[in-house]
Amino acid sequence: MNKFNYYQPTEILFGTGRIQELGELALRYGKKCLLVTTPAIPALESMFNKVKKILTGAGLDVAHFDQVQPNPTTETITAGAKMASDFGAEVVIGVGGGSSMDSAKAIAVEATHEGTAWDYLFYKEPQPSEKTLPIIAVSTTSGTGSQVTQVAVITNTAKRDKSAIYNSIVYPKVCVVDPELMLTVPKKVTAPTGFDAFCHSFESTLHPNASPYIDCLAYKAIELVVKNLPVLLNDLSDLEARSNMALADTFAGLCIANAGVTLPHGVGMAISGMYPQVAHGESLAIIYPSFTRFTYKHAITQFATVARIFDKSLNGASDEVAAEKSCELVDDFLRKIGLWMDLKQFGMPENEIADLAKQSMVLPDYEGNPRVATPDEMLTLIEESFDRK
Ligand code: NAD
């Protein structure tokens, strides 16, 4: 057996109603907290009010930074960090999807360090230090797994670049995964976030840091997504399906924190960096049909295992047959959950295909793929993803 590491410092509070415990959790770290969310659109207003009531009811002083947007930008982080400093925040609480939780992490860094959060990306020196404010994450999408990861994804609009802080210091100290908070997530967010959890799990099994821990978590998460996401899309109020997706999301987050993502995420980050109108999960859906066909022969066991999760009748087929079939099965799943998409439909100009291919090889994610794409192969993958008809 190969050597492996597994590390997870975030305390996980999972289950309906657990949001009620947020006040006592926050008090562990101080009395002044910065709450970080997207704006209070009608679907979210009562949740935010409930959270504020729980926090103030426990005796906390709350400042609410409610300016996060999907694919959060460096400008947003700077505004949030200023509010945290002016207020003297002792703990930062991100309530929302990956965008809000990642903003909370990046704000916790920028509020306590010289320069901006962008100066502390994974490849830069110095890295964020122990001065970083403690972070609490409350996930309201299922999703990104950010509630249990050491990653904060941010976008630099001026550079058209999406990158990440990747450091153990931004692991949330504690996270609350309360499926009741997810009942208001609309279909257009439920589908791509659910597919993101599938991708985190699958890509982790393909990553060089995969381990027996990853296999246990990832294949269970894939099973949960395949079974529950279509059910949930038919009835967004199904709490059991929401709970199962929240569990899949958390398992998948543990996978990326300990193994990692591969080629699709490198491409997906490039897509949303250049075209912020594309949600993260959508960017993955765009590249997946080409990625599966490009990769399956180089990871027969993993692709065959996923194929058999989709279709039990493949239990009797050879691994090679099942692995090849997985490409079609993933396509079918994307169609079923309404995510059969391409770059053209998001208004990407055709003359930027080469730029996007180049940008897709900036992050090291593509190098962890079982088949490493050459620049020409990456160009072909992007060309295929431009117009799927
Ligand atoms: P998101 O956080 O951008 O949210 C999408 C939309 O859904 C927002 O408008 C938000 O207000 C709304 N929303 C959230 N919860 C809701 C609820 N309960 N009811 C109604 N509306 C709700 O979406 P996301 O996919 O969760 O996060 C995407 C971001 O996370 C991207 O920037 C992506 O790159 C990043 N990401 C981070 C990690 C990590 O480990 N840190 C991993 C993967 C992706």
Q: Does the pTM exceed 0.95?
A: yes
| Residue 277 CB neighbour total at 10 angstroms | 11
Starting at the earlier edge strand, list the strands of the sheet with 174-177.
11-14, 174-177, 135-139, 91-96, 32-36, 61-65
CA of 352 to the centre of ligand 1 (A): 26
CA-to-CA dists, residue 195 to 182, 221, 255, 293, 316, angstroms? 16, 11, 15, 18, 27
- Asked whether 102 lines ligand 1 (CB < 6 A), one says yes
For 130-142, how does the pLDDT look when each residue is reduced to its tens digit (9 = 90+)? 999 999 999 999 9
Q: Is the pLDDT of residue 330 over 90?
A: yes
Indicate if ligand 1 lies below 6 Å from the C-beta of 325: no
Kindly list the distances between the CA atom of residue 261 and the CA atoms of 9, 100, 173, in Å, as whole numbers in the listed order. 20, 21, 23
Give the pLDDT mean for 192-198.
98
- For residue 151, what pLDDT is reported? 97
Distance of CA 116 to the CA centre of its chain: 22
CA 184 remoteness from chain centre: 19
- Over residues 318-331, the mean pLDDT reads 98
Ligand 1 contact via 156 beta carbon (within 6 Å): no
% the chain with pLDDT above 70: 100
Res. 389: pLDDT tops 80: no
- Read off φ and ψ for residue 366, nearest 5 degrees: -65, -25
Paired tokens of 139: 């996930």
Q: How crowded is residue 122: how many other Cβ atoms within 10 Å of its Cβ?
A: 15
For residue range 230-273, list pLDDT tens digits in order.
Answer: 999 999 999 999 999 999 999 999 999 999 999 999 999 999 99
Query: How many Å lie between the centroid of ligand 1 and the Cα of residue 300?
Result: 32
Measured distance CA(200)–CA(252) in Å, rounded: 6
Please give the share of the chain, as a percent, with pLDDT higher than 90: 98
Class of domain 187-386 as given by CATH: mainly alpha
Omega within 30 of 0 (cis) for the link into 126: yes
pLDDT (tens digit, 9 = 90+) per residue, 60-82?
999 999 999 999 999 999 999 99
**Sequence-separated (6 or more) residues with CB below 8 Å from residue 86:** none
Residue 376 has pLDDT above 80, yes or no: yes
Considering Cα of 127, then 131, then 134, then 135, what sign does the dihedral take? negative
Collapse the DSSP code of 212 into the 3-class scheme (helix H, G, I; strand E, B; otherwise coil) and give the result. Answer: helix
Neighbours of 53 (CB within 10 A): 12
Per-residue pLDDT at 352: 97
87-101 mean pLDDT: 98
Hey, whose CA ends up nearest to atom 3 of ligand 1? 70
Domains of the chain: which residue ranges? 11-182, 187-386
Where do we find the tokens 């994307």? 334
Distance 320 CA to ligand 1 centre (A): 36
Q: Is 238 exposed, middle or buried (0-12, 13-18, 19+ CB in 10 A)?
A: middle
- Residue 100 Cβ inside 6 Å of ligand 1? The answer reads yes
Taking alpha carbons only, the member of 71, 341, 313, 295 closest to residue 195 is: 341
| Residue in this structure with the two tokens 């249990």, named with its chain if needed | 148
pLDDT digits (tens, 9 = 90+) for 148-190: 999 999 999 999 899 999 999 999 999 999 999 999 999 999 9
Q: At 2, is the pLDDT very low, low, confident or very high (cuts 50, 70, 90)?
A: confident
Tokens at 70, concatenated: 């999907």
Establish whether domains 11-182 and 187-386 are of one fold. Answer: no
Structure tokens at 110: 């920028």
Residue in the structure block whose two tokens are 């998460």? 221
Confidence of residue 344 (pLDDT cuts 50, 70, 90): very high
Look up residue 87 and give its two tokens: 């207020």
Class for the domain spanning 11-182:
alpha beta
- Radius of gyration in angstroms for the set of CA atoms belonging to the chain, rounded to a whole number: 20
- Flag whether pLDDT at 350 surpasses 80: yes
Give me the pLDDT at residue 69, please: 95
Name the band, by pLDDT with cuts 50, 70 and 90, for residue 322: very high
For residue 149, which atom of ligand 1 is closest to its CA?
40
Contacts of 287 (CB under 8 A, 6+ apart): 263, 264, 267, 268, 271, 381, 385
- Nearest C-alpha neighbor of 297 from the set 382, 371, 217: 371
What is the rounded average pLDDT of the residues 208-230?
Answer: 97
Report the nearest-CA residue for atom 28 of ligand 1. Answer: 98
Residue 155: C-alpha distances to residues 142, 161, 168, 354 (Å): 21, 6, 20, 20
Residue 115 has pLDDT above 80, yes or no: yes
